[in-house]
Amino acid sequence: MDATDSVDQTLTCNIGDVTQAVDVTWKDKDDSPITDGQGGYTFAKGSVDGSDIQASTLTITAATLAALDTASPVTWKCAAKSTLYPESEVSADSDVVVTFLTFAVQAKHSEVLKDTQATISCVVSGLTKQLDAVKWEKPDSGGDITHDVGGFKIAEGTYQDGSDSQTTILTVP
Protein backbone atom coordinates (compact mmCIF):
# COMPACT_ATOMS: atom_id res chain seq x y z
CA MET A 1 0.00 0.00 0.00
CA ASP A 2 1.21 3.51 -0.79
CA ALA A 3 0.62 6.19 1.84
CA THR A 4 1.75 9.57 3.10
CA ASP A 5 2.69 10.49 6.65
CA SER A 6 0.86 13.82 6.33
CA VAL A 7 -2.55 12.43 7.34
CA ASP A 8 -3.91 9.55 9.42
CA GLN A 9 -3.67 6.22 7.58
CA THR A 10 -5.90 3.16 7.86
CA LEU A 11 -4.45 -0.27 7.14
CA THR A 12 -6.63 -3.29 6.44
CA CYS A 13 -5.96 -6.93 7.25
CA ASN A 14 -8.32 -9.30 5.42
CA ILE A 15 -8.91 -12.60 7.20
CA GLY A 16 -10.48 -15.12 4.85
CA ASP A 17 -12.56 -18.26 5.09
CA VAL A 18 -14.26 -17.38 8.39
CA THR A 19 -17.92 -17.79 9.26
CA GLN A 20 -17.72 -16.18 12.69
CA ALA A 21 -15.70 -13.10 13.70
CA VAL A 22 -12.23 -13.86 15.03
CA ASP A 23 -10.11 -11.90 17.48
CA VAL A 24 -7.43 -9.85 15.76
CA THR A 25 -4.14 -8.57 17.15
CA TRP A 26 -1.79 -6.04 15.55
CA LYS A 27 1.97 -5.54 15.96
CA ASP A 28 4.03 -2.48 15.11
CA LYS A 29 7.19 -2.32 13.00
CA ASP A 30 9.26 -3.47 16.00
CA ASP A 31 7.05 -6.56 16.44
CA SER A 32 5.56 -5.10 19.65
CA PRO A 33 1.83 -5.65 20.35
CA ILE A 34 -0.34 -2.62 19.65
CA THR A 35 -2.89 -1.59 22.29
CA ASP A 36 -6.08 -0.07 20.93
CA GLY A 37 -6.32 3.64 21.73
CA GLN A 38 -2.67 4.04 22.75
CA GLY A 39 0.41 5.40 21.03
CA GLY A 40 -1.56 6.91 18.15
CA TYR A 41 -3.17 3.60 17.18
CA THR A 42 -6.82 2.54 17.05
CA PHE A 43 -8.12 -0.67 15.58
CA ALA A 44 -11.35 -2.50 14.89
CA LYS A 45 -11.52 -6.27 14.54
CA GLY A 46 -14.28 -5.96 11.93
CA SER A 47 -17.07 -8.36 11.12
CA VAL A 48 -17.52 -11.21 8.66
CA ASP A 49 -19.03 -10.18 5.33
CA GLY A 50 -21.06 -12.25 2.85
CA SER A 51 -17.86 -13.60 1.29
CA ASP A 52 -16.62 -15.09 4.60
CA ILE A 53 -13.96 -12.37 4.90
CA GLN A 54 -13.35 -10.29 8.00
CA ALA A 55 -11.60 -6.95 7.44
CA SER A 56 -9.78 -5.67 10.51
CA THR A 57 -8.51 -2.08 10.36
CA LEU A 58 -5.65 -0.30 12.09
CA THR A 59 -5.68 3.51 12.02
CA ILE A 60 -2.41 5.31 12.69
CA THR A 61 -2.34 9.03 13.45
CA ALA A 62 -0.27 11.39 11.32
CA ALA A 63 1.73 12.33 14.45
CA THR A 64 2.69 8.68 15.00
CA LEU A 65 3.61 8.27 11.33
CA ALA A 66 5.69 11.46 11.35
CA ALA A 67 7.83 10.01 14.14
CA LEU A 68 8.74 6.94 12.04
CA ASP A 69 11.60 6.55 9.60
CA THR A 70 9.59 6.29 6.39
CA ALA A 71 12.55 6.36 3.99
CA SER A 72 11.94 2.65 3.33
CA PRO A 73 8.77 0.56 3.58
CA VAL A 74 7.35 -0.07 7.05
CA THR A 75 5.66 -3.36 8.03
CA TRP A 76 2.84 -3.80 10.53
CA LYS A 77 1.50 -7.28 11.29
CA CYS A 78 -1.88 -8.74 12.11
CA ALA A 79 -2.87 -12.17 13.36
CA ALA A 80 -6.18 -13.92 14.02
CA LYS A 81 -7.44 -16.25 16.74
CA SER A 82 -10.66 -18.21 16.60
CA THR A 83 -13.43 -17.22 19.00
CA LEU A 84 -15.33 -20.39 18.07
CA TYR A 85 -12.43 -22.62 19.16
CA PRO A 86 -10.73 -20.80 22.07
CA GLU A 87 -8.10 -23.53 22.49
CA SER A 88 -6.82 -23.02 18.94
CA GLU A 89 -3.50 -21.32 18.22
CA VAL A 90 -3.09 -17.78 16.95
CA SER A 91 -2.51 -17.67 13.20
CA ALA A 92 0.84 -16.77 11.70
CA ASP A 93 1.40 -13.03 11.33
CA SER A 94 0.26 -11.45 8.10
CA ASP A 95 2.40 -8.52 6.93
CA VAL A 96 0.82 -5.22 5.93
CA VAL A 97 3.61 -3.33 4.16
CA VAL A 98 3.35 0.42 3.62
CA THR A 99 5.54 2.39 1.23
CA PHE A 100 5.58 6.09 2.06
CA LEU A 101 5.51 8.61 -0.76
CA THR A 102 7.57 11.79 -0.60
CA PHE A 103 5.48 14.93 -1.04
CA ALA A 104 6.95 17.53 -3.41
CA VAL A 105 5.86 20.52 -5.47
CA GLN A 106 7.73 21.28 -8.68
CA ALA A 107 7.05 24.43 -10.71
CA LYS A 108 7.34 23.96 -14.47
CA HIS A 109 8.89 26.88 -16.36
CA SER A 110 8.01 28.18 -19.78
CA GLU A 111 8.86 31.17 -21.92
CA VAL A 112 6.18 33.74 -22.60
CA LEU A 113 6.13 36.45 -25.23
CA LYS A 114 5.45 40.01 -24.12
CA ASP A 115 1.75 40.95 -23.99
CA THR A 116 0.59 37.33 -24.20
CA GLN A 117 -1.18 35.12 -21.72
CA ALA A 118 1.13 33.07 -19.49
CA THR A 119 0.47 29.57 -18.22
CA ILE A 120 2.23 28.36 -15.08
CA SER A 121 1.98 24.76 -13.94
CA CYS A 122 2.98 22.97 -10.76
CA VAL A 123 3.28 19.22 -10.41
CA VAL A 124 2.44 18.00 -6.92
CA SER A 125 3.82 14.51 -6.33
CA GLY A 126 3.71 12.03 -3.46
CA LEU A 127 -0.08 12.08 -3.32
CA THR A 128 -2.46 9.26 -2.49
CA LYS A 129 -5.62 11.04 -3.70
CA GLN A 130 -6.93 14.16 -5.43
CA LEU A 131 -5.96 17.38 -3.65
CA ASP A 132 -8.84 18.80 -1.59
CA ALA A 133 -8.03 22.32 -2.78
CA VAL A 134 -5.44 24.24 -4.78
CA LYS A 135 -4.32 27.71 -3.77
CA TRP A 136 -2.19 30.08 -5.85
CA GLU A 137 -0.71 33.31 -4.45
CA LYS A 138 0.68 36.45 -6.05
CA PRO A 139 4.45 36.98 -5.68
CA ASP A 140 5.82 38.40 -2.42
CA SER A 141 2.56 37.81 -0.54
CA GLY A 142 0.51 39.90 -2.92
CA GLY A 143 -2.53 37.93 -1.76
CA ASP A 144 -4.47 34.92 -2.92
CA ILE A 145 -5.40 34.49 -6.55
CA THR A 146 -9.06 33.73 -7.14
CA HIS A 147 -10.37 31.88 -10.20
CA ASP A 148 -12.07 34.19 -12.73
CA VAL A 149 -11.05 37.36 -10.86
CA GLY A 150 -8.74 39.80 -12.62
CA GLY A 151 -8.45 37.49 -15.62
CA PHE A 152 -6.76 34.69 -13.66
CA LYS A 153 -7.85 31.11 -14.34
CA ILE A 154 -7.06 28.16 -12.06
CA ALA A 155 -7.29 24.57 -13.24
CA GLU A 156 -6.91 22.29 -10.21
CA GLY A 157 -6.07 19.27 -12.34
CA THR A 158 -6.85 15.61 -11.75
CA TYR A 159 -5.07 13.06 -9.58
CA GLN A 160 -2.96 10.66 -11.67
CA ASP A 161 -2.87 7.28 -9.93
CA GLY A 162 0.05 5.89 -11.95
CA SER A 163 2.40 8.73 -10.96
CA ASP A 164 0.79 9.63 -7.60
CA SER A 165 0.69 13.24 -8.79
CA GLN A 166 -1.56 16.09 -9.84
CA THR A 167 -0.72 19.00 -12.15
CA THR A 168 -2.39 22.32 -11.39
CA ILE A 169 -2.30 25.20 -13.87
CA LEU A 170 -2.57 28.97 -13.39
CA THR A 171 -3.34 31.12 -16.40
CA VAL A 172 -2.13 34.71 -15.96
CA PRO A 173 -3.71 37.48 -18.08
- Tens of pLDDT, residues 9-58: 999 999 999 999 999 999 999 999 999 999 999 999 999 999 999 999 99
Can you give the pLDDT at residue 160?
A: 94
pLDDT digits (tens, 9 = 90+) for 65-77: 999 999 999 999 9
| Residue 35 burial class via C-beta count within 10 angstroms: exposed 0-12, middle 13-18, buried 19 and up | exposed
0.75 surpassed by pTM: no
Give strand pairing partners of 153.
171
Q: How many residues does the chain have?
A: 173
